[in-house]
Structure 1
Amino acid sequence: MKKGLIMAIPAIALLVVNCKKNDGGNKNVLKADDSTTILADNGKVDSTINYNTDINGKKSLKTDYVYKATDGTLVKVVFNYKENTVSIRSNNKTFILNKVESKGNETTYEKMDMKATVKKDSLILDQGNNIIELAKTKI
């Protein structure tokens, strides 16, 4: 009896040590990324979209920019990614265009005869016979 008890105690101790609770969870489950990444129509990451990163490394969408025309005029541009629109404000007039296509490196917005094409740091407005080239400012 004593011999069986002496042999059982190390076996129980070994089980208790090996069966401790692991707080790490299932290592095969990937944690969800808190950052928001917008994809283009082709399923690749849309490079025309910029993000703000705070000091803690948390990423958020940057939606408003100031663009400068070749004649020096400043234009405020606000992207609404939830509604797939862009609003362009200049000379107290605001134009809201709907997203038509996104290729990943180029996004096109249109409404009636106005078309806006966004590529990297440039925005090209095409309205009938007028083509206005805008460049993103550092403001």
Structure 2
Amino acid sequence: MKKTIILLNTIFLLAVVGCKKSTDGNKNIIKTDSSVSAVSDQNGKIDSASASSSIIDVNGKRIEKTDFVYKATDGSLVKVVFKNDPKESTVAITSNKKTFTLPKEETKDGETVYKKDDMTARVKGDSLHLEQGNNVIELVRTKI
């Protein structure tokens, strides 16, 4: 009888000590800032319908992603994601289930140029000028 009580007390004590929860939390969890950065149109008015933005904090480094939908001259829609992190800034252009990611090359006179191999994307205001070889595609940001 004594052995059973001692055994049950030992099991109970181990269960209480083993199930102690830490209040620090998991250090490897990605924290997301739910704030949305405001995008303004040419008149300076806040344009909340045209973009989806998120700021993610990974191990103290902030990564900002902003998604836009652009419309080509032929009427097709293209998803464009601008990503800014401490290492590099890129633009990812997705159309017809294909994604092209171009690193930022330079910014001057309000125009940002992204380039990889023979593909170049020039972003100025609401327009995106995409060049690949002899092909030129004009895209304009839409409000969805």
Identify whether the pair has TM-score above 0.5, normalized to the shorter chain.
yes
Q: What residue ranges of structure 2 are gaps of 5+ in the alignment?
A: 1-36, 49-54, 56-63
Hey, what's the Cα distance between the residues in 2 that align with 1:133 and 1:81?
Answer: 23
Q: Aligned residue for 1:98?
A: 103
Which ranges of 4 or more aligned residues in structure 1 deviate by more than 3 Å? none
Q: How does 1:1-139 map to 2 (within 5 A)?
A: 63-82=66-85, 83-103=88-108, 105-139=110-144
Which structure 1 segments of 5+ residues have no match? 1-36, 38-46, 54-59
Q: Contact between 1:52 and 1:62, CA under 8 Å: does it hold in 2?
A: no
| Structure exhibiting the larger radius of gyration computed from Cα positions | 1
Distance 1:100 1:80 in 2: 14
User: For this pair of structures, how many residues does the alignment match?
Assistant: 86
The secondary structure found in structure 1 opposite 2:128 is: strand
Q: TM-score normalized by structure 1?
A: 0.56
Q: What's the TM-score, normalizing by structure 2?
A: 0.54
Alignment partners' CA distance in 2, 1:87 and 1:62: 10
Separation in 2, partners of 1:127, 1:104: 23
- Per-residue Cα deviation, 1:2-46 (whole angstroms, up to 9, x for no partner): xxxxxxxxxxxxxxxxxxxxxxxxxxxxxxxxxxx9xxxxxxxxx
Please state how far the C-alpha of 1:62 moved relative to its aligned partner.
6.6
Q: Deviations over 1:92-120 (max 9, x none)?
A: 00000000001251000001000000000
CA distance in 1, matches of 2:120, 2:90: 12
Amino acid at match of 1:79: F
Q: What is the aligned-residue identity percentage?
A: 61
Greater relative contact order structure (CA < 8 Å, 6+ sep): 1
